[in-house]
Amino acid sequence: MAERKLLVLFGSQTGTAQDTAERIGREAKRRHLRCRVEALDSCDVANLIHEPLVVFVCATTGQGDPPDNMKMFWRFLFRKNLPAGSLCQLDYAVLGLGDSSYPKFNFVAKKLHKRVLQLGGNPLLPVALGDDQHDLGPDAVVDPWLVALWDKILALYPLPPGLEIISPDVRLPPRYTLHYLPEDSPQPDSDLLQPTAPRDDPCELRPFAARMVSNQRVTAQSHFQDVRLIEFDIVGSGITFSAGDVVMIQPQNCPEDVQQFCQLLRLEPDRRFVLEPTEPGTSLPPLLPQPCTIRYLVTHYLDISCVPRRSFFELLCYFSTNELEREKLQEFSSAQGQEELYSYCNRPRRTTLEALWDFPHTTCAIPADYLLDLIPRIRPRAFSIASSMLAHPEQMQILVAVVRYKTRLSKPRRGLCSTWLASLNPEQGDVRVPLWVKKGTMKFPADPGTPVIMIGPGTGVAPFRAAIQERVALGRRGNCLFFGCRHKSKDFYCQTEWEELVTKGFLTLFTAFSRDQEEKVYVQHRIRENGRLVWELLSTGNAHVYLAG
The CATH number of whichever domain residue 503 belongs to comes to: 3.40.50.80
**247, 266: one domain:** no
Checking if the pLDDT of 195 tops 60, the result is no
**232, 262: one domain:** no
Q: Is residue 179 part of a domain?
A: no
Give dist(CA 59, CA 17) in Å, integer. 6
Domain's final residue, options 374, 400, 420 = 374
Q: Is residue 201 part of a domain?
A: no
Q: What is the pLDDT of residues 149-185, one digit of tens each?
A: 999 999 999 999 999 999 999 999 999 999 999 987 7
Q: Is residue 491 part of a domain?
A: yes
More confident residue, 359 or 192: 359
Closest alpha carbon to 452 in 439, 443, 440: 443
Q: Is residue 172 part of a domain?
A: no
Task: List Cβ neighbours of 313 (8 Å cut-off, separation of 6 or more).
Answer: 329, 332, 333, 341
pLDDT confidence of residue 386: 98
Give dist(CA 510, CA 534) in Å, integer. 12
In the chain, the number of structural domains is 4
**24, 142: one domain:** yes
Q: Is 176 helix (H, G, I), strand (E, B) or coil?
A: strand
Q: Are 329 and 317 in contact (CB under 8 A)?
A: yes
Closest alpha carbon to 288 in 366, 200, 197, 191: 191
Dihedral, CA of residue 297, residue 298, residue 301 and residue 307, to nearest 10:
150
pLDDT confidence of residue 188: 60
**44, 139: one domain:** yes
Q: Is residue 311 part of a domain?
A: yes
Q: What is the pLDDT of residues 375-401, one digit of tens each?
A: 999 999 999 999 999 999 999 999 999
**277, 217: one domain:** no
Give dist(CA 518, CA 528) in Å, integer. 19
Q: Any idea what the Cα angle at residue 119 is, between residues 117 and 124, rounded to 5°?
A: 35
**359, 396: one domain:** no
Domain's final residue, options 438, 465, 487 = 438
Buried b (16+ CB within 10 A) or exposed e, 350-359: bbbbbbbeeb
pLDDT band at 191 (very low <50, low <70, confident <90, very high): very low
Output the domain CATH number for residue 322: 1.20.990.10
**303, 264: one domain:** yes
Q: Is residue 197 part of a domain?
A: no
CA distances from 416 to 171, 281, 385, 401 (A): 32, 33, 19, 12
Closest alpha carbon to 521 in 513, 510, 529: 513
Residues spanned by the domain of 215 = 208-251+380-438
Mean pLDDT for the stretch of residues 6-28 = 96
**281, 350: one domain:** yes
Q: Is residue 196 part of a domain?
A: no
**429, 466: one domain:** no
Give dist(CA 243, CA 463) in Å, integer. 6
Global confidence as pTM:
0.92
CA atoms within 13 A on the CB side of 272: 14
**15, 147: one domain:** yes
**275, 351: one domain:** yes
**367, 411: one domain:** no
Q: Is residue 48 part of a domain?
A: yes
Output the domain CATH number for residue 75: 3.40.50.360
Checking if the pLDDT of 196 tops 50, the result is no
